C-alpha cells in the first residue's frame, strides 16, 4: 500500500508500456496510486470501473509500424516530420537524429492513450495543446533509471577497473567524470559512491577527488536530481550498507549525504548540439546511444575519444558498442561494456564538435588583390630560352595525372577521345603508351630514373624517334614525389644492311620487333596488375591517412577555441549550480525568518566564541542590537536583563552540551524565561548556542497577585482563629 509498485511501473515505462492508475479519491487506500502519480509514471488516471474500457481502447489502436523493417507511408512520414518541427519550436530540441522506430512507438503510445487513430489528427491535437507537447517531450526522453543498474558492471568497476585507473594517476589527483543523459541523477550518484568506496579501499591511503558533471535534456529531471531526495523503495537497488553510509533517512525517503552531493554538478545539456566536457578520466554514457541513429553514434565516438584523457574510461550500456570507434577504444571488459581510450592510432574520422561556428567571411570590404609585379628582363629571357631550347617535358604525379606541361608536347601526347582526361598514359601517342607504362613504376622505385632510347612515335602519318627520360623528384618542397617526363627528338638509326636484306629477313625483323613489343606489353600489364593489387590493398590506408592529416590540421586550428568553449561551458554549469544553491539558500532563509517572526519569541544565535551570528527583531528589544553588531561578542552589548551570569551560562552549555533554563527579570518589571541550547548542525557538529527569551511578565504578574491574595487570606484566617480562641 506504499511506493513498492513504482519500481514495476518504471520497468513497464522503460519498455514503452502504458500505465493505468486508479483515481485516488475512489480508492479505499490511496497511498499506492498517489505514489505512482507523484512519480510521473501515470498515463491514464480514472476510476477502477472505467479502466477495463481504457485498456480495450488502447489495445484496439492501429500501430504506425508493424515491424521495424517496414517503410512508413508518405503521409505518415510527413506527419512525423511535422511532429518533430512542433517539438523543436516548443522545446528547442531537435529529434531528427532520434531513431525513427523509437520515435514512432512513442508517438503511437500517446495516440493510443488519447484514442486518436490517425497521425494527422494527433498533429492537430499537438498544435492545439501545448501541454501534450511537453508530455511527448518527456515521453521521448525515456527518463527511466535506477541506482546501480546492472550490478555486475558496478562490482567490476569497484574491484578492478577503478583501482587500476587510480594507480595510473598521481596521488592527490583530481579526477573528472561526465555522465550525459543522467535523468534524475541515480547514475551519477552511483558513480560517486563507487568511486568513494574504491578510494577508501586503496592501500596505502590516497586523497583522490572526483568531480562529476551530470547533464540531461530534461530540466525538470535535473532539478529533481539536484535535490538528492529519493523514495524509500530505492532500498531494492541500494544495499543496506550503502544506505547507511551514503544516505540520510527522512520521513519522505532517503536523501543523499552532502559528501556525495557535493561531488556532482548537474546542468541541462544537449549532447548533440552543445560543446562537450574535456580532460575527463571517466565518461559514463549508458543506455543513451541506443536511442540515436547510427550516424550520430559514429560522430560521438571520436568526440568521446577527444574528451577523455589518455587511459580514460568509457562506460556504455549493455546493448551498446563503440562500433566504428574500435580503433579509438580498447575493451577492458567486453561483457560489462567498459572501454579504455587508446593512443596507438589517430582517429579515423575528424572530430565534429557540436558547437556551431560562423563559417562566413568577416564583414567589411574585401581586400583588394595585390598588384601583379611587372616581369623583369631576366624572367622574360628565361621563359624565351625554355620555350625555344629546352626539351618538352611533363610534370605528373605517381598515378600519371599531369600537373604541368613545358614546351610543345603535341608530337608525343594527344587528348584522348571521350571525357577530358589529363592522364599521361591515356594521352601518350602510339609507340609511347606501353613503354611509358612499363617505365613509370620502375622510375618510382629507383633513384636514378629510367631512360628509353629511340622509341618510334607515330606523328601525323609518319614516325619520329624519341628518347624519353622518366625521373622521380626527391627534392624537399612542393615538387617532392612528382615525376618529370622529358621528351628528346633523336635521329633514326642507320640501317646498314637494309638494301641487301631479302624480303624474308625484313619480315623476320618486323616479327621480332613485334614479339619484343608484345613481351614488353605483357611485362607492363603484369606489373600494372601487381601495382593495382597493391593499390587496392592500400586504398583504405591511404584514405585513412588522408583523413588523419585533415583531422590533424583541423584540430590544430580549432583545439584552442574548443577548449576555451568547453571551459566556458563548465563555468556556466558551475554558475548554474551556484545559482540553484543560492536560490535554495534564499528560500530556506525566508522560511526560517518567517518561522521565527511568527513564534514572537526573541531568539539570539551565538557562535562558539560568543559572537552574535543572527537575531530576531524581538531580541533587539531586550538586548541593544543593531545590524552592525553581527560578529561582536555578547559581553560587549548592553542588555535590559538583570542577568550578569549570561556569558558564563553560555560557556557552561558549550562545555556540557546540556540545555539550561531560568527566569530573569528586567529593571522595568518585565520577566523572561531564558533558555540556552547548543546549536547543532546537520552533520552533528556543535557550532554555537541558541538563546530564546520568552516573555512571562503576565504569568509573573498573576503569580504575584495570587501570592498577595493568598497572604491576605492567610491573615484573615489567622485573625478569625485568634478571635475564636
Say what the pLDDT of residue 505 is.
66
In angstroms, the CA 302 to CA 295 distance is 12
Contact 98, 293 (CB under 8 A): yes
Q: Any residues with CB less than 8 A from the CB of 340 and at least 6 apart, and which?
A: 311, 312, 313, 314, 329, 330, 331, 332
Fill in the DSSP letter of residue 292: B
In angstroms, the CA 606 to CA 676 distance is 10
Sign of CA dihedral 233, 234, 237, 241: negative
Length of the chain: 725
Contact 424, 402 (CB under 8 A): yes
Give the containing element (helix H, strand E) for 154.
helix 151-156
> CB neighbours (10 Å) of residue 389?
8
The three cell numbers of residue 530 are 601487381
First to last CA, the chain: 78
Give the containing element (helix H, strand E) for 458.
strand 450-459
Q: Could you give the domains of the chain?
A: 5-141 (no CATH), 151-341 (3.40.50.150), 382-488 (3.30.450.20), 600-702 (3.30.450.20)
Residues of the chain under the 70 pLDDT cut: 1-4, 14, 16, 40, 61-75, 143, 344-380, 382-388, 461, 477, 493-507, 509-510, 513, 552, 555-560, 562-563
In angstroms, the CA 280 to CA 304 distance is 9
Residue 486's closest CA among 501, 470, 498?
A: 470
Say what the pLDDT of residue 330 is.
87
Q: Where are the alpha helices (DSSP H) in 308-405?
A: 377-389
In angstroms, the CA 379 to CA 724 distance is 154
Contact 318, 150 (CB under 8 A): yes
201 Cα distance to chain centroid: 29
Give the containing element (helix H, strand E) for 138.
helix 130-141
Interaxial angle between packed helices 74-91 and 100-114, expressed in degrees from 0 to 180 and rounded to the nearest 10 = 90
In angstroms, the CA 354 to CA 368 distance is 35
Say what the pLDDT of residue 558 is.
65
Say what the pLDDT of residue 193 is.
94
In angstroms, the CA 3 to CA 33 distance is 9
Alpha carbon separation from 725 to 58, 365, 712, 718 (Å, rounded)? 102, 127, 20, 11
Say what the pLDDT of residue 362 is.
38
In angstroms, the CA 54 to CA 46 distance is 9
In angstroms, the CA 230 to CA 189 distance is 11
In angstroms, the CA 614 to CA 589 distance is 11
Say what the pLDDT of residue 375 is.
55
Alpha carbon separation from 80 to 16, 65, 105 (Å, rounded)? 18, 12, 11
The three cell numbers of residue 114 are 488519447
Strand ranges in 257-297 using DSSP code E only, listed in sequence order: 264-268, 280-285
Say what the pLDDT of residue 682 is.
78
Tell me the pLDDT tens digit for each residue of 549-603: 777 677 666 666 766 777 787 788 888 888 888 888 888 888 888 887 777 788 8
Tell me the pLDDT tens digit for each residue of 96-146: 878 777 788 888 878 887 878 788 888 888 888 888 888 888 777 776 788
Amino acid at each position: 500500500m506504499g511506493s513498492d509498485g513504482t519500481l514495476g511501473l518504471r520497468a513497464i515505462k522503460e519498455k514503452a508500456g502504458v500505465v493505468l492508475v486508479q483515481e485516488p479519491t475512489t480508492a479505499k487506500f490511496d497511498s499506492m496510486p498517489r505514489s505512482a502519480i507523484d512519480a510521473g509514471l501515470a498515463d491514464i488516471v480514472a476510476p477502477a470501473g472505467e479502466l477495463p474500457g481504457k485498456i480495450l481502447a488502447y489495445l484496439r489502436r492501429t500501430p504506425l509500424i508493424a515491424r521495424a523493417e517496414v517503410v512508413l507511408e508518405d503521409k505518415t512520414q510527413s506527419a512525423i516530420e511535422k511532429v518533430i518541427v512542433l517539438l523543436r519550436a516548443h522545446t528547442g530540441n531537435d529529434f531528427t537524429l532520434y531513431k525513427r522506430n523509437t520515435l514512432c512507438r512513442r508517438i503511437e503510445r500517446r495516440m493510443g492513450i488519447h484514442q486518436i487513430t490517425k497521425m494527422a489528427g494527433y498533429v492537430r491535437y499537438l498544435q492545439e495543446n501545448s501541454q501534450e507537447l511537453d508530455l511527448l517531450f518527456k515521453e521521448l526522453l525515456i527518463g527511466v533509471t535506477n541506482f546501480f543498474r546492472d550490478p555486475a558492471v558496478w562490482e567490476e568497476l569497484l574491484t578492478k577497473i577503478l583501482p587500476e585507473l587510480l594507480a595510473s594517476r598521481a596521488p592527490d589527483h583530481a579526477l573528472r567524470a561526465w555522465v550525459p543523459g543522467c535523468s534524475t541523477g541515480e547514475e551519477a550518484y552511483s558513480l560517486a559512491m563507487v568511486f568513494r568506496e574504491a578510494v577508501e579501499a586503496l592501500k596505502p591511503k590516497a586523497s583522490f577527488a572526483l568531480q562529476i558533471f551530470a547533464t540531461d535534456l530534461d530540466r525538470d529531471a535535473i532539478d529533481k536530481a539536484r535535490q538528492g531526495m529519493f523514495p524509500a523503495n530505492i532500498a531494492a537497488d541500494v544495499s543496506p550498507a550503502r544506505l547507511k553510509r551514503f544516505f540520510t533517512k527522512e520521513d519522505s525517503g532517503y536523501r543523499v549525504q552532502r559528501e556525495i552531493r557535493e561531488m556532482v554538478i548537474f546542468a541541462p545539456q544537449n549532447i548533440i548540439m552543445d560543446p562537450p566536457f574535456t580532460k575527463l578520466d571517466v565518461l559514463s554514457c549508458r543506455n543513451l546511444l541506443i536511442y540515436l541513429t547510427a550516424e550520430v553514434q559514429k560522430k560521438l565516438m571520436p568526440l568521446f575519444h577527444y574528451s577523455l584523457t589518455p587511459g580514460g574510461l568509457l562506460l556504455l550500456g549493455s546493448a551498446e558498442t563503440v562500433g566504428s570507434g574500435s580503433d579509438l577504444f580498447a575493451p577492458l571488459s567486453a561483457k560489462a561494456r567498459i572501454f579504455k581510450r587508446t593512443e596507438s592510432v589517430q582517429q579515423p574520422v575528424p572530430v565534429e564538435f557540436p558547437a556551431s561556428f560562423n563559417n562566413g567571411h568577416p564583414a567589411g570590404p574585401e581586400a583588394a588583390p595585390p598588384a601583379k609585379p611587372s616581369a623583369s628582363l631576366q624572367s622574360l629571357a628565361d621563359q624565351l630560352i625554355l620555350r625555344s631550347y629546352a626539351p618538352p617535358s611533363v610534370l605528373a604525379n605517381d598515378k600519371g595525372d599531369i600537373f604541368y606541361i613545358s614546351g610543345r608536347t603535341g608530337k608525343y601526347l594527344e587528348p584522348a577521345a571521350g571525357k577530358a582526361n589529363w592522364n599521361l598514359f591515356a594521352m601518350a601517342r602510339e609507340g609511347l603508351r606501353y613503354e611509358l607504362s612499363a617505365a613509370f613504376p620502375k622510375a618510382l622505385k629507383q633513384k636514378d630514373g629510367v631512360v628509353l632510347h629511340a622509341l618510334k612515335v607515330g606523328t601525323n602519318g609518319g614516325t619520329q624517334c624519341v628518347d624519353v627520360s622518366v625521373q622521380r623528384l626527391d627534392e624537399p618542397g612542393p615538387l617532392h614525389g612528382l615525376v618529370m617526363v622529358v621528351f628528346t627528338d633523336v635521329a633514326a638509326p642507320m640501317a646498314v644492311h637494309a638494301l641487301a636484306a631479302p624480303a624474308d629477313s625484313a619480315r623476320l625483323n618486323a616479327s621480332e620487333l613485334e614479339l619484343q613489343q608484345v613481351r614488353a606489353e605483357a611485362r607492363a600489364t603484369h606489373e600494372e596488375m601487381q601495382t593495382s593489387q597493391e593499390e587496392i590493398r592500400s586504398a583504405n590506408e591511404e584514405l585513412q591517412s588522408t583523413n588523419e592529416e585533415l583531422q590533424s590540421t583541423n584540430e590544430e586550428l580549432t583545439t584552442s577555441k574548443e577548449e576555451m568553449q568547453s571551459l566556458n561551458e563548465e563555468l556556466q554549469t558551475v554558475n548554474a549550480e551556484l545559482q540553484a544553491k543560492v536560490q535554495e539558500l534564499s528560500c530556506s532563509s525566508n522560511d526560517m525568518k518567517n518561522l521565527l517572526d511568527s513564534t514572537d519569541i526573541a531568539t539570539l544565535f551565538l557562535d562558539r566564541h560568543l559572537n552574535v551570528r543572527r537575531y530576531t527583531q524581538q531580541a533587539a528589544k531586550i538586548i541593544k542590537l543593531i545590524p552592525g553588531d553581527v560578529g561582536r561578542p555578547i559581553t560587549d552589548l548592553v542588555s535590559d536583563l538583570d542577568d550578569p551570569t549570561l556569558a558564563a551560562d553560555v560557556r557552561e552549555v558549550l562545555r556540557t552540551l546540556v540545555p539550561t533554563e531560568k527566569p530573569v527579570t528586567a529593571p522595568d518589571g518585565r520577566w523572561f524565561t531564558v533558555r540556552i541550547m547548543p546549536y547543532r548542525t546537520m552533520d552533528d557538529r556543535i557550532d554555537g548556542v541558541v538563546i530564546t527569551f520568552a516573555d512571562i511578565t503576565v504569568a509573573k504578574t498573576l503569580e504575584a497577585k495570587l501570592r498577595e491574595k493568598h497572604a491576605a487570606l492567610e491573615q484573615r484566617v489567622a485573625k478569625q482563629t485568634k478571635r475564636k480562641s
